[in-house]
Chains A and B, each alone.
Chain A
């Protein structure tokens, strides 16, 4: 079953604009990760944020985590056509005996040149 749910399902923006994607989850987590997938290809890890962190940056990426609301957001600034891809959040449950990441269904981002 899906733990993370991304919102929106699809997003279309102009090159140079910022893109914001949201992820909501249900249970307590150890960390939350964001991955990118270009069409039909393998997922690429973007960023990991631990449950005791509130914000993290990596280049043009900014991730926030609000554990009280069980939600995270991924902001891509100054988007480029090459950012066109699907973006997935994945949660690592903090419950004992949990040995897997649970992925959401993703947000499909289209950046129009």
Chain B
């Protein structure tokens, strides 16, 4: 079956630090990969996505590259802000299916 593994949090950084949140996956087919973000008290928002190997998704300074050889989709940002403090979820959708498989989420805390 499909599964997504994320690094455990919380990840605590100072403002302007470099961010990496690791995500690896197991899938039977050729999945699409997603990063969602959840701010306190809110639902999930799509942050970025990639649909095939070597695709790079990017949004709001965040990037992630679909690496088929390492089955990974690590999230990176060069300089985090306090406003980036949230929970980040990696997810996959197997081709032909609409349901998402989520990782357990990684909390990011950014201090001034």
Q: Do A and B come from one complex?
A: no
